Amino acid sequence: MSQAAPRKTDIGPPQYEKFLPPIVKKNYGKWLYHEILKPGVMVHVAESGDKLFTVRAGSPRLISIMTIRKFCDFADKYCSGFLRFTSRNNVEFLLTDQTKIDPLIADLKAVGFPVGGLGNSISNIVHTQGWVHCHSSATDASGIVKSVMDDLIEYFTGMKLPGKLRIALACCLNMCGAVHCSDIAILGVHRRPPKVQHDNLKKLCEIPTLISSCPTGAIRTAMVDGKESVEIEEDLCMYCANCYTVCPATALNDPLNDGISIWVGGKVSNARHEPMFSKLAIPYIPNNPPRWPEVVSAVRNLVEIWAKDARKYERMGEWINRIGWPRFFKKAGIEFTKYHIDDFKFAGTTYKKSVHLKY
């Protein structure tokens, strides 16, 4: 047997201080205030009087090493080799010389990276893997995000909205990311129960784990053609796909019925109103690659009715709280259906229990 090579483990990430620009190190924790100078550009002023300029550019998140190297070229040219990414996957260039801002923006635009995403804008769409890498996606992520952002780009590069508007996308209801807490959320959904592969199930899956994976208790043990397997009470199945997550023999992807639902009114910040979950606006829109035009126009409609009607600072959820859900559906021109009414545990807490109504 050969000698194993020395192995480094449990070293963790590099210590962040190694990557902080000198101006950040010097003024760490001693920032006084900031101002947004124009779309995508802000300045932070320190107690020392030092000024740090940030230029924020949109990024598609799924990027090649060529794109990363391009970002590095710009950071070397304008920012002494320092840059960072944001929690919405934008890229930020950190400058100390104000005169370099416009040349950097010109360089970024020349290779297709828009500058914006600050203040009352629509910033980047937090999104997931989709058909690029995930086995359980009911839709694609990158494709819809590209289509929606192409349509809404004026709101990324401008700051003309009443408040912030966050859009997120998840390709299934595992909701990796921020779909359950965004102003507008795009969520991949299934509409048919799994097709159980009885021949393989016992070989591939742990049946008790499979049974306990179902939120509505729709899965039962069953002998099928002399084989240990499960049966699914289709009346109890709402196609969440959690059984498929734990068992490969219960696939439910279905090109004909998989699609998109749209949710509104979530937020995570505490400003004014407490954090809120997103709530169902549109139960189903079919997948229509490569541009998903129905999804794009549904999102634009929601942005526009909110932008037109909301008061200054009012997030989507705060606006809907003020006008009420019936008004929201009317203004948005969205049909209200029985699918909008909660029927999971404690659903009754979401029913209207007053005559505070508008006619």
7 makes contact with other proteins (CB under 8 A): yes
270 makes contact with other proteins (CB under 8 A): yes
159 makes contact with other proteins (CB under 8 A): no
If the CB atoms of residues 25 and 308 are measured against other proteins, the closer one turns out to be 25
C-alpha of 325 from chain center: 23
106 makes contact with other proteins (CB under 8 A): no
First to last CA, the chain: 83
Q: Judged by CB under 8 A, which stretch of 96-104, 152-160, 173-181, 323-331 contacts other proteins?
A: 173-181
Out of 41, 57, 75, 298, name the contact with other proteins by CB under 8 A.
75
CA distances (Å), origin 303, targets 19, 272, 282, 308, 310: 38, 21, 14, 9, 10
Alpha helices in 173-277 (DSSP H): 198-204, 207-211, 242-246
152 makes contact with other proteins (CB under 8 A): no
If the CB atoms of residues 157 and 257 are measured against other proteins, the closer one turns out to be 257
Q: How far apart are CA 94 and CA 96, in angstroms?
A: 7
Q: Judged by CB under 8 A, which stretch of 53-61, 100-108, 298-306, 329-337 contacts other proteins?
A: 53-61
Out of 86, 96, 301, 321, name the contact with other proteins by CB under 8 A.
86
Q: How far apart are CA 180 and CA 176, in angstroms?
A: 9
Nearest to 312 by CA among 165, 162, 161: 162
* Residues 244-263 within binding reach of other proteins (CB under 8 A): 244-246, 248, 251, 253-256, 258
* Residues 200-239 within binding reach of other proteins (CB under 8 A): 209, 212-213, 215
List CB contacts of 207: < 8 A, sequence separation 6 or more. 201, 221, 228, 230
Nearest distance, CB of residue 333 and other proteins, angstroms:
27
352 makes contact with other proteins (CB under 8 A): no
315 makes contact with other proteins (CB under 8 A): no
If the CB atoms of residues 226 and 290 are measured against other proteins, the closer one turns out to be 290
Out of 41, 71, 116, 282, name the contact with other proteins by CB under 8 A.
71
Query: CA-based angle 130:234:212, to the nearest 5?
Result: 70
Phi-psi region of 209 (alpha: psi -120 to 50; beta: other; left: phi over 0): alpha
Site track for other proteins across 325-344, x = CB under 8 A: -------------------x
* DSSP bridge partners of 167: 184
Q: How far apart are CA 112 and CA 341, in angstroms?
A: 43
271 makes contact with other proteins (CB under 8 A): yes
